[in-house]
């Protein structure tokens, strides 16, 4: 199946996509990990911040948040909801994240529902780049959607977990089960990578 360009897809469809993202509640959609995190004072990077739903939640819980998305429309939409300018909104792209000059800068990196839009090779580059940006004892939270009918989505790199372990992460894999809101078979997996 031919892949379509993810950047133009998200840019052109941002209105309908943010409506969909806004249907979900952050605490509910991330219930398997979020209640264990005390966000107060944490430096959080939200990559693929989309509608800003999650980034705004992390900030509301006391985190210092940087939110990154490669879609300028997504960034403008989300920024308009940040009435008190609490969040640093940046247009940038995984795997390079060229805007980020400082290594070991974040306590928590959330890259939820974005990994499958990278090719398997880019997934590994992204993992290594996020590792560089993470503090000692930091965590990366990633969710991955397996959807063979989505011509934007790739399979997970077969060396993803081994690469994470070789970087020094303890890897917890949580089966997110079938997506009940989808008309066909879509499976979610959560990765909690801890240093
Ligand atoms: C499915 S949304 C995820 C939104 C939010 N994190 C969530 O959990 O609902 C994916 C977002 O990632 C952005 N995105 C996809 N690939 C990206 C990349 N390589 N670099 C930066 N942003 C990307 C899209 O523009 C979109 O806003």
Q: What is the pLDDT of residues 126-136, one digit of tens each?
A: 999 999 999 99
- Best probe residue, ligand 1, of 13, 50, 74 (max atoms within 8 Å of C-beta): 50
pLDDT band at 111 (very low <50, low <70, confident <90, very high): very high
Strand-pair partners of 134: 106
Mean pLDDT along residues 139-146: 95
Ligand 1 close to Cβ of residue 52 (< 6 A): no
The confidence score (pLDDT) of residue 183 equals: 67
Ligand 1 atom nearest 11 alpha carbon: 25
Residue 69 in domain: yes
Domain assignment of residue 48, yes or no: yes
* 162 has a pLDDT exceeding 70: yes
Confidence of residue 180 (pLDDT cuts 50, 70, 90): confident
Q: What is the pLDDT of residue 128?
A: 98
Residue 9 lies in a domain: no
Q: Is 90 in the pocket of ligand 1 (CB under 6 A)?
A: no
Q: Tokens 């469809």 map to which residue?
A: 13
For residue 50, give its domain range: 41-194
pLDDT (0 to 100) of residue 147: 82
28 in any annotated domain: no
Q: Is 5 helix (H, G, I), strand (E, B) or coil?
A: coil
pTM here is 0.95
CATH number at residue 125: 3.40.50.150
Q: Is residue 89 part of a domain?
A: yes
Residue 15 has pLDDT above 70, yes or no: yes
Contact 50, 72 (CB under 8 A): no
DSSP codes, 6-74:
HHHHHHHTHHHHHHHHTTS-HHHHTHHHHTT---TT-EEEEES-TTSHHHHHHHHTT-EEEEEES-HHH
Which atom of ligand 1 lies closest to the CA of 46? 6
Least confident of 15-24, 38-47, 117-126: 15-24
Looking at the 3D structure of the chain, how many domains does it have? 1
Please compute the mean of the pLDDT values over residues 145-164 and round it to a whole number. 91
How much of the chain, in percent, has pLDDT values that exceed 70?
98
Give 41-98 pLDDT, tens digit per residue.
999 999 999 999 999 999 999 999 999 999 999 999 999 999 999 999 999 999 999 9
Structural domain includes residue 12:
no
**Ligand 1 proximity of 69 Cβ (cutoff 6 Å):** yes
Mean pLDDT, all residues of the chain: 93
Inside any domain, residue 138: yes
- Answer yes or no: is pLDDT of 16 > 90: yes
């Amino acid at each position: 199946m031919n892949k379509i360009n993810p950047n133009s897809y998200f840019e052109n469809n941002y209105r309908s996509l943010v409506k969909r993202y806004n249907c979900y509640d952050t605490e509910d959609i991330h219930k398997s990990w979020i209640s264990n995190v005390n966000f107060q004072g944490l430096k959080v990077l939200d990559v693929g911040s989309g509608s800003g739903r999650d980034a705004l939640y992390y900030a509301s819980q006391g985190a210092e948040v940087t939110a990154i998305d490669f879609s300028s429309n997504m960034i403008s939409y989300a920024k308009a909801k940040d009435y008190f300018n609490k969040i640093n909104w940046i247009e940038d792209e995984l795997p390079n994240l060229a805007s980020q000059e400082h290594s070991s800068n974040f306590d928590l990196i959330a890259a939820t529902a974005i990994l499958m839009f990278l090719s398997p090779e880019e997934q590994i580059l992204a993992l290594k780049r996020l590792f560089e940006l993470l503090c000692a004892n930091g965590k990366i939270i990633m969710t991955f959607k397996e959807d063979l009918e989505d011509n934007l989505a790739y399979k997970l790199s077969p060396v993803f977990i081994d690469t994470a372990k070789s970087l020094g992460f303890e890897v917890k894999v949580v089966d997110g089960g079938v997506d009940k809101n989808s008309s066909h078979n879509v499976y979610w997996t959560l990765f909690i990578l801890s240093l």
